[in-house]
Structure 1
Amino acid sequence: MNVRETLAGRAGIAADVGLGAVFAVALAFWAFRIAESWGGEYWRFDCAAGAVVCACALVRRSDPARAAVAGLAVAAAAVLIARLAHLPAEPGPAMALGLSVLIGSAIRALPAPGAVAVAAGGFAVVAGSLLAALTSTSSHQAVATLNGVGWLAAVAIGLWPRLLDARRRAIAEKVRRDERLTLARELHDVVAHHITSIVLQAQAGRLVARKHPETVDGSLADIEAAGSDALAATRRVVALLRDENDAAPATPGPERLSELVERFGDHGPAVRLRLPEDASAWPPEVAGTVYRVVQESLTNVSRHAPHARSVTVSVAQDREAVTVEVVDDAPPVRTRYHHRGGFGLVGMRERLEALGGTLRAGPRPGAGWSVLTTLPVPARKHP
């Protein structure tokens, strides 16, 4: 379990402890109101039924579907029993709160059919409470109204994250689709270029072989080199076309980084570029990914850090990996953190993951933002 999962678990436990305290207060408050207005032992049934539903809400994380079904069943039974036995209206405030938690959590976590079924079950409980209130006192009608409001709030709270997730998936899928279209263009522009070169050299070799047979070895060597380039380009593009790990095509690499930085500096903050001495030895897919990482990072600076005064692009290499870090010195702005978590990094992260790399992005201590990527470099094959 990593640190993020540990913190999330602790936050969940703290939230449930606070929720349990709210449930206890609501149960005690409603028991006091029932005892004050109805007298006798009428409060016992409400407290027992409400406590069961609240307990289901507290254990919902292990199985949201079963917890919601159990809570709704208890609530439906409570509505029926309260009506037949002439008891205070159900669900009471504590039970209504517990049902809201159960319904909202189920709608958020369950697949669409299960979420719809739970929402319909909650509506049935509200409708039953409302029907009981139509022939009862005004206090019963107030309880029914409270239940209706709780159900609407639960549905809204459960649906909102689902809609956000759907929107994120749609945007991420658009990024992947755009990347695949770009890759299709590269298949045409890069691979087709290599194949055409092979065909032309083969045709030329046939002509040369007739007139100057002694030069055939040189022609065959050229064809072999062109074929090797075509095979490497084909493997790279096809590998990047995988559905789960598709990435962008290789773009002109280290030799073009200086031009990219210069263009950015013409309309943005000053950029300092640090490159390793042997950057030209990178494979095409590594060089292209490094270029795209720097390009996307500088684009993010221009969009989300307008007050940055300087940017540093550092590219380092050892025997196993290339590390790229892009940092700026913009003052901290709350809205910036939100925007930086958007979908501009989706394509960058997928390019890196497709090649076995990693990405970390976040605020720096004090001020500024940092994007740090690590990309493994394949071992060179010696002839």
Structure 2
Amino acid sequence: MNVREWPARHAADAGLGVGFAAALAFQASRVADSWGGDYWQFDCAAGAAVCVIALLRRHGRARAAVAGLAVAAAALLVARFAQLPAEPGPAMALGLSVLVGSAVRALPVVPACAVAAGGLAVVAGAFAAFSHSVVAVLNGLGWLAAVVIGLWPRLLDARRRAVADKVRRDERLRLARELHDVVAHHITGIVLQAQAAQLITRKHPEKVEGSLADIEAAGSDALAATRRVVGLLRDAEGDPALPTPGQERLGDLVERFGGHGPAVRLRLPAGEPVWPPEVTSTVYRVVQESLTNVSRHASHARSVTVSVAEERDTVTVEVLDDAPPAPARYYHRGGYGLVGMRERVETLGGTLRAGPRAGAGWSVLATLPVTSRERR
């Protein structure tokens, strides 16, 4: 238990103790008035025992609940066969409510259900033995209140945990997509440049130095990008904000790809679109992953067309290549990259279609909604 919680818990237990004492005093006075003599002594002794157990429940909720229920069951049997006032009395019912509610709130599912069932059995016994007494009704209401009060915060905690788990899962997927996009794109560029360097070594040895410089630059870019994403993973201050590249970086991306791949035509909307950061980032990642897939699976493509169009409430991204069909290509295009693209687009309420074009080539078409409110 946290040290800061001690005063509050002690104050709560003190208030509960005062409530138990008041209930016992009321119970003794009522029994003395209606039954006379010393009948109140057994009733108050049994009630006090359960109340003390309830005050000590923090030392072992399961043991305390079992002990309290056992005392209540014994008191019920003694009262029934010895012709004593109905049990459990008001004070004992209050103590049992505290024990049952505490167990339902804090114990694992199986012990919590067992304690709740034990409390229900005591209530049923009270109804069977003293059906004519208001005490039986009081016990039933106390048990029901205890279960509700214990179960409600438990359900709220479960809901909070589920929401937190979903947030963490979504964040892991988002960061996994970001890592995949960054690493796969840059490493693909390095591999292609290394392959080109091997050809240059055999045909134009004098150009090897330039090729190695290009590979070094691509490796440095990959390392810097990876470090940025790892820095986001290590950031403990709230929700990490992933980069949102704009149109200028989209042009750089296409230019880098055209330097070691097929020619790329880029068509962008006129002016500087004002899109939400998540839309801008998704447009960039869709183009990046599509170009990476062209490099990896469509090396015979002669040209690629990247079109980004903006209508009133929609942003459309289309990447087309003219590579001849290859049987293995359709299988490989179903990897994590396509899954990540689809997750990004569908998270924003958009759609993604990817597949072979009629005749030859491959098409990736993403449609993203952009509302008027988001534009402002």
- Superposition TM-score tier, normalisation by shorter sequence: 0.5 to 0.7
1:184 aligns with 2:176: yes
Query: Offset at 1:208?
Result: 2.8
For residue 70 of structure 2, what is the aligned residue in structure 1?
Answer: 73
Q: 2 CA distance for matches of 1:236 and 1:48?
A: 69
Matches for 1:191-230 after TM superposition, within 5 Å: 191-227=183-219, 229-230=221-222
Change in 2 beyond 3 A, CA 1:8/1:127: same
Matches for 1:53-92 after TM superposition, within 5 Å: 53-92=50-89
Gaps of 5+ in 2: 249-273, 277-376
Q: 2 CA distance for matches of 1:211 and 1:18?
A: 91
Query: Offset at 1:239?
Result: 9.5
For residue 271 of structure 1, what is the aligned residue in structure 2?
Answer: none
- Give the letter aligned to residue 72 of structure 2: A
Q: 2 CA distance for matches of 1:160 and 1:219?
A: 67
Change in 2 beyond 3 A, CA 1:68/1:104: same
Matches for 1:291-330 after TM superposition, within 5 Å: none
1:47 to 44, 48, 51: 44
Which consecutive segments of 4 or more residues in structure 1 shift more than 6 A? 238-242
For residue 131 of structure 1, what is the aligned residue in structure 2?
Answer: 128
For residue 165 of structure 1, what is the aligned residue in structure 2?
Answer: 157
Decide whether the 8 Å contact of 1:187 with 1:234 is kept in 2: yes
Query: Offset at 1:149?
Result: 0.1
For residue 95 of structure 2, what is the aligned residue in structure 1?
Answer: 98
For residue 118 of structure 1, what is the aligned residue in structure 2?
Answer: 115
Q: 2 CA distance for matches of 1:249 and 1:196?
A: 25
Q: 2 CA distance for matches of 1:246 and 1:232?
A: 23
Query: Offset at 1:62?
Result: 1.9
Q: Deviations over 1:310-356 (max 9, x none)?
A: xxxxxxxxxxxxxxxxxxxxxxxxxxxxxxxxxxxxxxxxxxxxxxx
Query: Offset at 1:251?
Result: 2.0
- Give the letter aligned to residue 48 of structure 1: A
Decide whether the 8 Å contact of 1:240 with 1:246 is kept in 2: no
Q: 2 CA distance for matches of 1:198 and 1:79?
A: 82
For residue 325 of structure 1, what is the aligned residue in structure 2?
Answer: none
Change in 2 beyond 3 A, CA 1:71/1:232: farther
Q: 1 CA distance for matches of 2:120 and 2:105?
A: 17
Give the TM-score, by structure 1 length. 0.59
For residue 143 of structure 2, what is the aligned residue in structure 1?
Answer: 151
Matched residue of 2:59: which SS? coil
Query: Offset at 1:209?
Result: 2.2
Q: Deviations over 1:139-196 (max 9, x none)?
A: xx20000000000000000000111011111111211222222223223321111111
- Give the letter aligned to residue 191 of structure 1: V
Q: 2 CA distance for matches of 1:235 and 1:80?
A: 72
Q: 2 CA distance for matches of 1:222 and 1:78?
A: 88
- Give the letter aligned to residue 91 of structure 2: A
Query: Offset at 1:6?
Result: 3.5
Q: 1 CA distance for matches of 2:71 and 2:174?
A: 56
- Give the letter aligned to residue 188 of structure 2: T
**Percent identity between the aligned chains?**
71
Query: Offset at 1:221?
Result: 3.8
Q: Deviations over 1:349-374 (max 9, x none)?
A: xxxxxxxxxxxxxxxxxxxxxxxxxx
Matched residue of 2:160: which SS? helix
Q: 1 CA distance for matches of 2:240 and 2:190?
A: 25
For residue 105 of structure 2, what is the aligned residue in structure 1?
Answer: 108
Decide whether the 8 Å contact of 1:123 with 1:151 is kept in 2: yes
Q: RMSD value over aligned CA atoms?
A: 3.0
Decide whether the 8 Å contact of 1:237 with 1:249 is kept in 2: no
2:11 to 10, 14, 21: 14
Q: 2 CA distance for matches of 1:183 and 1:213?
A: 41
For residue 379 of structure 1, what is the aligned residue in structure 2?
Answer: none
Q: 1 CA distance for matches of 2:224 and 2:146?
A: 55
1:142 to 134, 143, 157: 134
Larger Cα Rg: Structure 1 or Structure 2? 2
Matched residue of 2:104: which SS? helix
Change in 2 beyond 3 A, CA 1:75/1:240: farther
Give the TM-score, by structure 2 length. 0.60
Query: Offset at 1:219?
Result: 2.4
Decide whether the 8 Å contact of 1:179 with 1:248 is kept in 2: no
Q: Deviations over 1:233-261 (max 9, x none)?
A: 5677689889xx997574259xx9xxxxx
Query: Offset at 1:211?
Result: 3.9
Q: 1 CA distance for matches of 2:86 and 2:195?
A: 92
Q: 1 CA distance for matches of 2:59 and 2:217?
A: 60
Decide whether the 8 Å contact of 1:65 with 1:106 is kept in 2: yes
- Give the letter aligned to residue 38 of structure 2: E
Q: 2 CA distance for matches of 1:118 and 1:237?
A: 50
